[in-house]
Amino acid sequence: MSDTKFITQEELSSYLKSLFRIEEYDDYGPNGLQIEGATKISKMAFAVSATAASIEEAVRSQAQALIVHHGLFWKFHGVRSITGTFAKRVKPLIQNDINLYGLHLPLDGHPLLGNAACIARLIGLEQLSDFGLRGQVPTGIKGEFLKPIKALDLKAKLEKVLSHNVLHSSPNDDQMVQSMGIITGGANSEWKLAQKEGLDCYLTGEMSEHDWNESQEGGVHMYAGGHHATERFGIQALMEHLASRFEVEAIFIDSKNPA
């Protein structure tokens, strides 16, 4: 008789729903189980996005679940036929009985496992609290450095943590900064929230041309470290958490994405 550890699809769905307060988020697509697969899960794969490549690797690795930050279904896509590139993602999951779970805003804003919270701890922010509330749930985190840091030195620290080039829209390169808000990914315009809350600086993944101008004119140091690069942390923290809690095999599928 096999002693392989497993978790049921129902148990995993219920746990993620509770852990991330999924039903409280008004998101751009469904969170939680997006494609139903095997009822027993003994191996979980994790990736930032459900791409053809990450799905192919999940199939090759014989995982019964693929858990991602960016799932397959988005409101801005509207109704879609399962053809072309979309079919290359959907069909292998169904054909190989793989459960697909997507966790978008809930994984951005979780106070322990979230993308923003993970980065905040890595760069030394303290006194962490919710940031970027949508209703009653956060999409990011804010905090303060124990000691003020020079704005350009913070850029260098971020580049080291993210392993990615960081754009820095700076009101004053020599300024010492202490407080920071973080919302990862494509939250370009939320530097205005940092300004409203009196924070010195703001980190996200992307920066629009007008945000480059307006943030520095508004007195906020805006840093953009790449959409993908800022969102690699939460999914890996979740992988470690679930693997430890349920004692099932887990793998991370990396991606070379410069965006």
**For helices 52-60 and 84-95, what crossing angle results, to 10°?**
20
Six-digit token string for 2? 């096999």
Assess contact for 64 and 41: CB atoms under 8 A: yes
Q: Is pLDDT of 3 > 90?
A: no
**Residue 46: closest CA among 191, 246, 240, 257:** 240
Over range 115-125, report the average pLDDT: 98
Q: What is the model's pTM?
A: 0.96
- CB of 178 closer than 8 Å to CB of 142: no
> Tokens in use for 192?
């205005």
Cα 53 from Cα 47, distance rounded (Å): 10
The count of C-alpha atoms lying within 13 angstroms of the C-alpha of 59, restricted to the half-sphere facing its C-beta, is 17
Q: What is the mean pLDDT of the chain?
A: 97
Question: Domains of the chain, with CATH numbers?
Answer: 7-103+232-252 (3.40.1390.30), 109-228 (3.40.1390.30)
> For residue range 178-206, what is the model confidence (pLDDT) as tens digits?
999 999 999 999 999 999 999 999 999 99
Give the contacts of 7 (CB within 8 A, at least 6 positions apart). Answer: 40, 41, 246, 248
pLDDT (tens digit per residue) in 124-151: 999 999 999 999 999 999 999 999 999 9
Q: For 201-248, how does the pLDDT look when each residue is reduced to its tens digit (9 = 90+)?
A: 999 999 999 999 999 999 999 999 999 999 999 999 999 999 999 999
Alpha-carbon distance of 43 to 159, in angstroms, equals 33
Per-residue pLDDT, 90:
98
Residue 1 has pLDDT above 50, yes or no: no
- pLDDT, one tens digit per residue, over 43-74 is 999 999 999 999 999 999 999 999 999 999 99
Strands (E), the chain: 7-8, 32-35, 40-41, 43-49, 65-70, 99-102, 125-131, 140-150, 167-169, 176-182, 201-204, 221-224, 249-252
Burial of 166: CB neighbours in 10 Å, binned 0-12, 13-18, 19+: buried
pLDDT class of 4 with cuts at 50, 70, 90: confident
Residue 228 near residue 259, CB atoms below 8 Å: yes
* Whether the Cβ atoms of residue 234 and residue 109 lie closer than 8 Å to each other: no
Question: 3-class DSSP state for residue 250?
Answer: strand
